Structure formats: C-alpha cells, structure tokens
Structure 1
Amino acid sequence: MDEDCDFLFKVVLIGDSGVGKSNLLYRFSKDEFYLDSKPTIGVEFAYRSIKVGDKIVKAQIWDTAGQERFRAITSSYYRGALGALLVYDITKKSTFESLKKWLKELREFGDAEMVVVLVGNKSDLLHSREVNLEDGQSLAKLEQVSFMETSAKENLNVEEAFLHLIHRIYEVTSHKSLDAKTTSESLDLKTLQGNKEIICIDEVSATKQPSSCCLH
C-alpha cells in the first residue's frame, strides 16, 4: 500500500487489438491522445489517484495486449484485479462479437466479484458506426454490467467511465470490509458466550463438589 493513498485498486483494460485501450489509458492518466498509437506488446500500466468521499484511491490501470499471441502472457494479469473496462470499437462489429470471448476469459481468470464496465469506444466516428448504441445497452443488460460509449480522441465519457468503475469498486470493497467486520464481531461474541458457559459449568461443579463430600 502506497503511503499517499488509502486504497490501491488494480484495474485492467481488455478487448481486441485496435479498439483504443491504450488511448483510453493515456487520456485518463495523462490527458493525452496519440493518433498513431502502436499496438501494445504484453502489458503497460499507469497510475492515477482519485478522491472518493474522504479517501484517496490510487488506480493502477493495466493495458493488456489484444493480440491472440499474447493471451497466455496477459491472462495472469487478471490476478488481483478488482475491475475491468471491457472495450470494443463501435466502427468494427467484429470487436463487439469478440466480447463473449473476453467475458469468458474474465470469468475464468478474474475474481467473481470483479466490477466490469462495457465501453464502446470511438463514438466520434458516428459516420462509420457498425454497432448500434442499443446493441451495447442490450449486452450490458444481459451480462449485468454497466455500459458507456466513449471517445478517447474527443475526450468524451473517458473520465466518467473510469470514475464509475473506481466508485463501484470502492462500494464493493467497502461492503466486503463491513461484512468481514460484522462476521468477526459475531464470532468474537460467540467465543465470549462460549467462555461464559464454560465458566458457569465450572462454578456449578465447584459448588456441588463440597456438598458431595459432606454427604460422605
């Protein structure tokens, strides 16, 4: 845990190569965009600190390679991830059709309670759209995840998508901590009650013993 934050959340960006994952990361972490961005090889990551309530959350965002030849390497990076942005390109239907494969991988390697936000990127290219807004909404509803369309180039909804993900992770983490505390307190109470019962039994035995001796 870094000294300058209260929580450290690992987040992964996943989706086919060329959907704009790296530029989403650059835009959110540095407010930069590169038109000639090259495909990610392996994994890259960046940090950004966010204030959630009175807490400082540092998001550690991992940008994974979308090419098939890197999948054996990057699948291990799901370990410890609390959230994921699942990204497709609204101008390429094939990247939307690949989402089932990515969701399967998420559920195989990721935590069962991982927060997922579905992101349709490149919303600035409406004239080239191949995936309707309604298609993204329907899939998100079916898979019970959040959904947003973004444009890393125009900086549309990028901040909102990441902040929504981080806030949801914070909510899930807070609930888990509260549940763990409640369970711990319940166990402590049962232990105390158990000890009290043992003490009571011992006291009864000690009281009865002299009486038994006196009868003899």
Structure 2
Amino acid sequence: MDHDLDLKFLAIGDSGTCLLNQYVDGHFNEKLAPTVGIDIRDKNIDYESYRSNNLFKIHLQLWDTAGQERFRSLTSSFFRDAYGFLLVFDLTNETSFINVRNWITEIGANAYSENVDMILIGNKCDLESSRVISKLRAEEFAKQHEIKYIETSALKNIQVEESVKLLLDLVMDRLEESQDFSKPSRRQLRSTSEPINNLNFDDNKRKNTRVSYCCSY
C-alpha cells in the first residue's frame, strides 16, 4: 500500500452539478450533468501537517450526492464513515442555502461519530450581480453552527483548492491532536507497516504539499 491514510469526504448540498470535476480533471465542464445518486472520485495527495510537519500520503475519496432530495434515503447510509463534509450551496439560490440546515441535521443523525468536521461553501461567487445570499449572512450562519465558511467558483477556479484543503486541515488536526486513527470502516483508514499513530516520518520524505480540490458550480 502506497499511502498512509484513506479519508472519505462527502460533498452535499443543492448546488447542482458535480463537485469534483475542477479538482480531479483541472477544468470546468459546463455540459456536465447533475450527479444521479452518488459520484465517487479519488485523488492521492501528499499532505504536510501544519501541526506536526509530518508528511502524510493520503488517498482521498470524494463522494458527491448533488443534494438531490429523492436520493436522501440513499445518501444517508454513506454519512457514517465520512471524516468530513463539504456543505455546498448556490450563492444565487435562496432555497439551496435554506436546505443546508437540513443537511446539518442529517449529518448529526447519521455520521459515524459526533467528532466529524464540516465546512460551509458558498459557490458561484463569480456571479456577484446574481447573488442573493450575502457573505455576512452566510458567515453568521456558519458561526451559529461553529463551522468554517469559504466562497468559491468552480467555473473560474476561485478557492477551489483552498476549500477542501480547509476541510482536510480540520480533519487532520483533529486526528493528530487525539491520535484517533481508529477506523470506522476498513476501507476508510488503514495503517502502513509503520503504525500511523506513532507519527514518525523520515524528514527526508517531506516535500512541498501538493493539494488540489474541487467544488460544484
């Protein structure tokens, strides 16, 4: 096995098309159809911890539900083994923002642990003239729920990488602080031949972090 950790992130919300295209493929496909059910994309990254300066080779599983209500019963079963959640709404759509509260409730009811991380993502920040959700309103909502907030544009590739990097920082900080590398699912977190909870990495293995991430449009 050529990586240290398997981490599953779930992107949920009512913002439409695939969250992962910009991140995985490096471009925005405006003809991309909305996800039907679950779309799973994979990315292997090198992540240098700001807490310990250790280098982790991480296999990210990025699951996109597209937030379609008719798939809610399907997606709820996938909440339990996710380490982090990207709550995405459309800055030009009032309903998509209102629905975020419902998704937070779903996460609370179905996540494998209370100790999961979430961030709030306001997408389509390039469409300022069409915005109906102000930054202040979104920030106040995020503060109320004690989560981080970031605005993105998948079309213009604005803070796409930074959005998931923000979530990854939260997850890794929590895992390192508690050294809680127990696995809720064998698929999600596995140790290398050198136990991951020892957090002993050869300094010569360290290199610049290469992290790219996605968001929906």
TM-score by length of structure 1 reads 0.77
Structure 1 moving runs of 4+ over 6 Å: none
**Is the Cα–Cα contact under 8 Å of residues 17 and 32 in structure 2 kept in the other structure?**
no
Provide the aligned length of Structure 1 versus Structure 2. Answer: 175
- Matched with 2:150 is 148
Between 138-147 and 42-51, the greater mean CA deviation after superposition? 42-51
**Is the Cα–Cα contact under 8 Å of residues 119 and 148 in structure 1 kept in the other structure?**
yes
- Separation in structure 1 between the aligned mates of residue 83 and residue 12 of structure 2, nearest angstrom: 13
Q: Structure 1: 5+ residue runs without aligned partners? A: 181-216
Structure-2 change in CA distance of 1:93 and 1:176 (3 Å): same
Structure with the bigger RCO (C-alpha within 8 Å, sep 6+) is 2
Which structure has the greater CA radius of gyration?
1
TM-score by length of structure 2 reads 0.77
Between 139-148 and 170-179, the greater mean CA deviation after superposition? 170-179
1:1-216, aligned counterparts within 5 Å?
A: 3-16=1-14, 19-20=15-16, 22=18, 24-53=19-48, 54-110=55-111, 111-177=113-179
- Separation in structure 2 between the aligned mates of residue 50 and residue 172 of structure 1, nearest angstrom: 19
Question: 1:36 offset after TM fit, Å?
Answer: 2.3
Cα deviation 1:93-148 (Å, max 9, x = unaligned): 11111111111001111131111010000111111000001111111111000100
Q: Structure 2: 5+ residue runs without aligned partners? A: 49-54, 183-217
CA RMSD of aligned residues (A): 1.6
Identity %: 33
- Separation in structure 2 between the aligned mates of residue 68 and residue 101 of structure 1, nearest angstrom: 11
Structure-2 change in CA distance of 1:179 and 1:82 (3 Å): closer
Question: 1:179 offset after TM fit, Å?
Answer: 9.8
Cα deviation 1:163-200 (Å, max 9, x = unaligned): 111121111111222699xxxxxxxxxxxxxxxxxxxx
Question: 1:37 offset after TM fit, Å?
Answer: 2.1
